[in-house]
């Protein structure tokens, strides 16, 4: 998980045109935001990530109130926007799916009550991404609609993914993320 400022800085050489960006990042992304909080002392990026996960677990959102524009126009506070590449860890197991869940062996690790050990998984085939609820206890939602367990749902750019109605992410293909950043003058 990387914060937007760090992500942009590390990819500065690839942000001049979409083909360079997509060649560097052939996988989709999830974006989410940490709620702003006043701090007296600056924290390290690792501290932000830990605090972000702890705070996000305590927040309940209404998905119809989440607006991508509100998140990505935070130019002065873009360190609060998290960019999560939707790709496998280095582990050779379950190569066909990208897993999300509470246990550390998942590709996307959300270690909180309400998230199942294996909560959901993604599959990418022919540049299309699907999400499947893995019979989670508290559900997986796309744009507020609860998914049926074990039934793959095709994702579109800017879909809102919610896990247990606790964690909310925006889905982006690499090209769409690049163009959205350009449109909002974040690059």
pLDDT tens string, the chain, 187 residues long: the values are 567 778 888 888 788 888 988 998 888 999 886 544 433 344 444 444 445 455 444 444 444 445 554 444 443 344 467 888 888 876 554 457 899 999 999 999 888 889 999 999 999 988 899 999 999 999 999 999 999 999 999 999 999 999 998 888 999 999 999 988 888 767 5
Q: What is the pLDDT of residue 120?
A: 97
pLDDT at 64: 46
Looking at residue 4, its pLDDT comes to: 78
pLDDT at 165: 84
Which domains are present in the chain? 2-183 (2.60.200.20)
Q: Note the pLDDT of residue 121.
A: 97
Instruction: Retrieve residue 13's tokens.
Output: 């050489």
133-141's contacts with Cβ under 8 Å and 24+ in sequence apart are 134/99, 134/101, 136/163, 136/164, 137/164, 138/114, 138/163, 138/164, 138/165, 138/166, 139/163, 139/164, 139/165, 141/63, 141/165
Q: In the prediction, which pLDDT does 63 show? A: 45
d(CA 156, CA 20) in angstroms, rounded, equals 22
pLDDT tens for each residue of 54-82: 544 444 444 444 555 444 444 334 446 78
């Amino acid at each position: 998980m990387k914060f937007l400022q760090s992500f942009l800085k590390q990819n500065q050489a690839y942000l001049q045109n979409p083909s360079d960006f997509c060649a560097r990042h052939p996988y989709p992304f999830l974006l989410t935001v940490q709620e702003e909080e006043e701090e007296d002392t600056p924290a390290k990026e690792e501290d932000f990530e830990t605090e972000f996960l702890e705070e996000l677990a305590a927040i309940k959102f209404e998905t119809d109130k989440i607006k991508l524009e509100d998140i990505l126009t935070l130019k002065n506070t873009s360190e609060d926007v998290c960019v999560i590449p939707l790709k496998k860890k280095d582990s050779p197991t379950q190569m066909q799916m990208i897993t999300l869940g509470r246990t550390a062996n998942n590709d996307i690790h959300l270690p909180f009550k309400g998230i199942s050990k294996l909560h959901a998984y993604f599959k990418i085939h022919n540049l299309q991404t699907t999400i499947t609820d893995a019979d989670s206890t508290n559900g997986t939602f796309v744009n507020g609609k609860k998914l049926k367990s074990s039934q793959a749902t095709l994702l579109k750019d800017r879909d809102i993914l919610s896990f247990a109605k606790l964690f909310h992410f925006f889905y982006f293909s690499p090209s769409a993320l690049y163009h959205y950043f350009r449109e909002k003058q974040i690059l």
